Amino acid sequence: MKNRTAAPGALLLAAALSLSGCGAQPPAELRAAGVERIHAGGADYTGQIRQLSDAALVLGTRLVDAGGDGNVVGSPASLLVALAMLRTGASGATADELDSVLGLPAQGRDEAMNALLSALATNDGDPGSVDDKEPPATPLLHLADGLFVDKSQPTGEGYLHTLAAQYGAGVFPVDFADAAATKGQIDAWASKNTGGRIKEAPAEYRPEDTLSLLNSTFFAAAWQTPFSANATHDAEFTTAGGGKAMVPTMNGLLTVPFAEGPGWQAIDIPYGERFALRVVLPAVVSPPSLSPERAREVAAALSEAGSTAVDLSLPTWDHATTMDLEPMLKAMGLVLALGPEADFNAIQPGLVVTAAAQAATITVAEKGTVAAAVTQINGMAVSGQIPVPALRLAVDRSFSYQIVDTETGLPLFMGQVADPR
């Protein structure tokens, strides 16, 4: 159990702010006193930003693959930012593992992330202002970071300083033992920063936790050349399993970047500016997930492609995915970072990750796209010996049994239960 009488953490926070105390609204955010956001120039971190983008690409392919053969949507950008914030508080072998597995820059990681986020902030706006049926002509991209910490648990001043300076993030002090209030506040934060499209944070709430780290990513934009609703008709679509279905399909003649290679064709469908929907079509019917190598190949080809007139047919879709990220991240190699021996002491003494999850939604239609995601990483500060979770055993199938003399090992009775009725 965590120590509820621990000295309050976050000593550099401006104490003048207080909690709202209302479960229907996020609490007040406290900022590191005297720390201003550093605005790093992207030109100074070109190589590192390229590494971060590649890391997100790899995370994205893993996210889709982890979702199985069905419909999947995820946000590698949201996951990357959340993991980068976690990495900021890692030390020793835990930090080395995160850098190696995720492919993070060896130098200037936080500064490069700051430069990347600052560049994306030029398209910032209020998700609540977006009408799903009329996406904005100028793309809106809203990223937000939330760090909810238990008021009784000290949180590293150096860690909070870096979050404020490089991520522009503060901290929300809460009482995790008060599940009704704190869960409501975390959910309200997720809903506010996604315009109500994700109303509940994706990870299971645990009163024992002492930290919840979140990133939200929201995108909305109209197509540069919208599709005509009158040109949308039902058309046959072959599913990944080889079945046939009639689905609403948009049609239009577009001049867009197009590329192809062995086993694939791809286009970038532009929004108003800067952003595009990348569609990669495999040559044969198969699960459509990409390997990191194929994704890099497609990206490189499209970056060099000229514009081509394409008579495009594209289905509309409206999908949502909620995913437990721990199996995927552990399969990638984050074993130490997600285990009981992780070193996140710079965040909270003895902090261990207890959950990692993401919820995402996307709507693609004739006028544009609206997408939202929330990534959540929860943790618990452990004092002294790390508690071992209770073993779960469900005797829910046929079994054998013995009545044994434990002194001699003599079985007094033996049997089996094939059907207990």
Task: Report the pLDDT value the prediction gives residue 405, as an integer from 0 to 100.
Answer: 45
Task: Report the pLDDT value the prediction gives residue 413, as an integer from 0 to 100.
Answer: 44
Q: Backbone phi, then psi, for 134, in 5-degree steps?
A: -135, 70
The pLDDT of 103-107, averaged and rounded, is 92
Strands (E), 223-271: 233-238, 244-261, 264-270
Q: Backbone phi, then psi, for 129, in 5-degree steps?
A: -85, -5
The answer on pLDDT for 408 being more than 50 is no
User: Domains of the chain (ranges plus CATH)?
Assistant: 42-220+319-381 (3.30.497.10), 233-315 (2.30.39.10)
404 vs 304, residue with greater confidence: 304
The answer on pLDDT for 402 being more than 50 is no
How far is the C-alpha of 406 from the C-alpha of 374, rounded, in Å? 53
Q: Which tokens belong to 302?
A: 């499209």
Task: Report the pLDDT value the prediction gives residue 397, as an integer from 0 to 100.
Answer: 54
**CB distance 358 to 329 below 8 Å:** no
Least confident range from 84-88, 112-116, 164-168, 241-245: namely 241-245
Q: Kindly list the distances between the CA atom of residue 380 and the CA atoms of 209, 224, 338, 354, in Å, as whole numbers in the listed order.
A: 4, 46, 12, 7
The answer on pLDDT for 349 being more than 60 is yes
Chain mean position to CA 223: 25
Model confidence pLDDT, tens digit, residues 188-218: 999 999 999 999 999 999 999 999 999 999 9
Which residues make Cβ contacts (< 8 Å) with residue 73, sequence separation at least 6? 319, 320, 321, 360, 361, 362, 371, 373
Is-above-0.75 flag for pTM?
yes
Element (H, E) at 21: none
CA angle centred on 190, ends 222 and 171, rounded to 5°: 125
Q: Which tokens belong to 71?
A: 């419909």
Model confidence pLDDT, tens digit, residues 167-195: 988 899 999 999 999 999 999 999 999 99
Model confidence pLDDT, tens digit, residues 36-72: 778 777 678 889 989 999 999 888 888 888 888 778 8
